[in-house]
Amino acid sequence: MIGAFTRGFVDGSLSTLGIVIGASAANSTVIISAAVGGAMANGVSNGLSAFVARGAEDYSELCEVEKAMVSRDLRGSTLDQEISKNTIRAGVTDGIATILGGAIPIAPYLLAPPLPAMLMAIGLVVGITFVFGLYLGRISRKSLLLSAARMAVFALVVAVVVYLVQLILVSEGKV
């Protein structure tokens, strides 16, 4: 479940960061509304996607086990029940983690005007992805600093690309 939580949390924070930066030409109420809606939709979508994907993978493996056994039907077995539980846990974990991660870049908009809030949101998300990178480096037994730096750079790339697109759209009068 650590993988589902990490994936969901990072995805939620990065995608919601994209929303708050992309909407940065608006007032805080619009930015918060768009970001909350995006984080909730992303959380539900990720939860359902994780549920479906995890179930498909696990039941595919169960079919392989059935083929290798004399008895070919494992429906209702302990293994089948465990797969069902793990599938539900993965979906719920991913969905909730996505929503929690999405709350991170929204929080500064509750405290500050749009421009300082955007800068705080970027800093928070870069910092959090750095911490997740440290953790991922630790559990994968790879370089902590390299793993952390890579995650932080991913967050910065998201922020810069979305900000540049937003600037282009605003300067051309598209929004």
DSSP 109: G
pTM over cut 0.75: yes
Percent pLDDT > 70 in the chain is: 89
Compute the mean pLDDT over every residue in the chain, rounded to the nearest whole number.
89
Return the pLDDT at 138: 93
pLDDT at 2: 84
Residues 6+ apart with CB under 8 A from 123: none
- Local confidence band at 172 (pLDDT 50, 70, 90 cut-offs): confident
pLDDT in tens, 73-117: 667 677 778 878 888 898 899 999 999 999 999 999 999 999 999
Position 71 scores a pLDDT of 58
Cα dihedral: 95, 57, 133, 47 (round 10): -10
